[in-house]
Chain A
Amino acid sequence: MQRTGILRLNFVDAFLWAFRIGVVAIVVWGTIGTLTTGRYTREQWADFAIFGLSQGGIYALIALGYTMVYGILRMINFAHGEVFMSGSYTAYFVAAPLAASGFLDRHPILGLLLILAVSVATSTSVAVLVERVAYRPLRRAPRLVPLITAIGASFFLQYAFRGLYGSGFRAYPEIGILRGEWAIGGITILKTQGVVIVSAAVMMAILYAIVMRTKVGKAMRAVSEDKEAAALMGINVDRIIVTTFAIGGAMAGVAGILYALVFKQVHFFMGFVPGIKAFTSAVLGGIGNIPGAMLGGMFLGVVESIGPALFLDGLGIVAPYQLKDVIAFTMLVMVLIFRPSGILGERLAGKRA
Chain B
Amino acid sequence: MNRPRVWGTVVLALLVALTSYAAAAPVRLGPVTDPIGVVRVARGQPIIIAYWLVIAGPNASLGVDSRRGIELAIADKRTVAGHPIRLIGEDSGCNAEGGVTAATKIAANRQVVAAVGSSCSSEAVPGAPILWRAGIVTVSPSNTAPRLTAPDRGPTYDGYLRTAHNDQVQGRVAAHFAYHALSSRRAATIHDGSPYAEGLANVFADVYRRLGGTITAQEAISPGDTDMRPVLTRIATGRPDVIYYPIFVAEGGHITRQAKEVSGLERTRLMAADGTFSPDFLRAAGPAARGMFLSSPDLSEEALGPRYTEFLRKHQQRYGERPLSAFHAHAYDAAMMIFAAIERVARKDAAGNTYIGRRALRDALFATRNFRGITGNLTCNQFGDCADPKIAVYEVVSADPAQWSPGTDPRKVWPRR
* A interface with B by C-beta (< 8 Å): 39-40, 43-44, 47-48, 51-52, 55, 162, 167-174, 181, 188, 190, 262-265, 267, 269-270, 272-274, 304-306, 308-309, 313, 318-322, 324-325
CA A264 to CA B227, docked complex, whole Å = 11
A48 in contact with B230 given A169-B283, A264-B286, A321-B219 (CB within 8 Å)? yes
In the assembled complex, which residues on chain A have CB atoms less than 8 Å from the CB atom of B285? 171
Interface contact B250-A267, CB-CB below 8 Å: yes
In the assembled complex, which residues on chain A have CB atoms less than 8 Å from the CB atom of B220? 318-319, 321-322
In the assembled complex, which residues on chain B have CB atoms less than 8 Å from the CB atom of A318? 218, 220
CA A319 to CA B202, docked complex, whole Å = 13
State how many angstroms separate the Cβ of A275 from the closest Cβ of chain B: 12
In the assembled complex, which residues on chain A have CB atoms less than 8 Å from the CB atom of B236? 44
State how many angstroms separate the Cβ of A95 from the closest Cβ of chain B: 12
Q: Other CB < 8 Å A-B pairs besides A48-B233, A169-B253, 9 of them?
A: A40-B237, A47-B229, A47-B233, A48-B230, A263-B254, A265-B226, A265-B286, A321-B221, A322-B222
State how many angstroms separate the Cβ of B239 from the closest Cβ of chain A: 12
CA A318 to CA B201, docked complex, whole Å = 14
In the assembled complex, which residues on chain B have CB atoms less than 8 Å from the CB atom of A304? 227, 230
CA A335 to CA B109, docked complex, whole Å = 50
State how many angstroms separate the Cβ of A171 from the closest Cβ of chain B: 3
Interface contact B230-A308, CB-CB below 8 Å: yes
Interface size class of B (residues with CB under 8 A): 35 or more
Interface contact B284-A188, CB-CB below 8 Å: no
CA A170 to CA B280, docked complex, whole Å = 8
A325 in contact with B222 given A171-B284, A264-B286 (CB within 8 Å)? yes
State how many angstroms separate the Cβ of A324 from the closest Cβ of chain B: 7
In the assembled complex, which residues on chain B have CB atoms less than 8 Å from the CB atom of A270? 226
The secondary-structure label for the interface of chain A is: helix
| Closest chain A residue to B279, Cβ basis | A168
State how many angstroms separate the Cβ of B259 from the closest Cβ of chain A: 13
In the assembled complex, which residues on chain A have CB atoms less than 8 Å from the CB atom of B224? 272-273
Interface contact A171-B253, CB-CB below 8 Å: yes
**A-B contact list, 16 entries, CB within 8 Å:** A39-B237, A40-B233, A40-B234, A44-B236, A51-B227, A167-B58, A169-B249, A169-B250, A169-B284, A173-B286, A265-B250, A265-B253, A274-B226, A319-B219, A322-B221, A325-B222
Interface contact B287-A174, CB-CB below 8 Å: yes
Interface contact A324-B58, CB-CB below 8 Å: no
CA A281 to CA B253, docked complex, whole Å = 26
| Closest chain A residue to B193, Cβ basis | A322
| Closest chain B residue to A307, Cβ basis | B230
Which has the most chain A C-beta neighbours within 10 Å: B58, B280, B285? B58
In the assembled complex, which residues on chain B have CB atoms less than 8 Å from the CB atom of A313? 234
Task: Name the one of A52, A269, A309 contacting B234, with C-beta atoms under 8 angstroms.
Answer: A309
CA A262 to CA B261, docked complex, whole Å = 11
In the complex, whether B231 has a CB less than 8 A from a CB of chain A is yes
In the assembled complex, which residues on chain A have CB atoms less than 8 Å from the CB atom of B222? 322, 324-325
Task: Name the one of A170, A172, A273 contacting B226, with C-beta atoms under 8 angstroms.
Answer: A273
Interface contact B227-A55, CB-CB below 8 Å: yes
In the complex, whether B310 has a CB less than 8 A from a CB of chain A is no
In the complex, whether B338 has a CB less than 8 A from a CB of chain A is no
A305 in contact with B286 given A190-B261, A269-B57, A322-B220 (CB within 8 Å)? no
Interface contact B230-A168, CB-CB below 8 Å: no
In the complex, whether B56 has a CB less than 8 A from a CB of chain A is yes
In the complex, whether B45 has a CB less than 8 A from a CB of chain A is no
A305 in contact with B230 given A168-B60, A171-B283 (CB within 8 Å)? yes
Interface contact A43-B263, CB-CB below 8 Å: yes
CA A247 to CA B257, docked complex, whole Å = 32
CA A273 to CA B58, docked complex, whole Å = 15
In the complex, whether B301 has a CB less than 8 A from a CB of chain A is no
Interface contact B57-A51, CB-CB below 8 Å: no
In the complex, whether B61 has a CB less than 8 A from a CB of chain A is yes
In the complex, whether B349 has a CB less than 8 A from a CB of chain A is no
Interface contact B283-A170, CB-CB below 8 Å: yes
| Closest chain B residue to A318, Cβ basis | B218
In the complex, whether B225 has a CB less than 8 A from a CB of chain A is yes
In the assembled complex, which residues on chain B have CB atoms less than 8 Å from the CB atom of A52? 230
Task: Name the one of B225, B253, B257, B261 contacting A324, with C-beta atoms under 8 angstroms.
Answer: B225
Interface residues of B in 268-303 (CB under 8 A from A): 280, 283-287
CA A43 to CA B263, docked complex, whole Å = 9
Task: Name the one of A43, A168, A188, A269 contacting B283, with C-beta atoms under 8 angstroms.
Answer: A168
Interface contact B218-A319, CB-CB below 8 Å: yes
| Closest chain B residue to A262, Cβ basis | B227
In the assembled complex, which residues on chain B have CB atoms less than 8 Å from the CB atom of A55? 227
In the assembled complex, which residues on chain B have CB atoms less than 8 Å from the CB atom of A171? 253, 257, 283-286
| Closest chain A residue to B251, Cβ basis | A265
| Closest chain A residue to B192, Cβ basis | A322
CA A318 to CA B198, docked complex, whole Å = 13
In the assembled complex, which residues on chain B have CB atoms less than 8 Å from the CB atom of A306? 230
CA A94 to CA B219, docked complex, whole Å = 37
Interface contact B253-A321, CB-CB below 8 Å: no
CA A304 to CA B219, docked complex, whole Å = 16
Interface contact B286-A174, CB-CB below 8 Å: yes
CA A51 to CA B232, docked complex, whole Å = 11
Which has the most chain A C-beta neighbours within 10 Å: B221, B229, B285? B229
Interface contact A51-B60, CB-CB below 8 Å: no
In the assembled complex, which residues on chain A have CB atoms less than 8 Å from the CB atom of B234? 40, 308-309, 313, 320-321
Interface residues of B in 42-99 (CB under 8 A from A): 56-58, 60-61
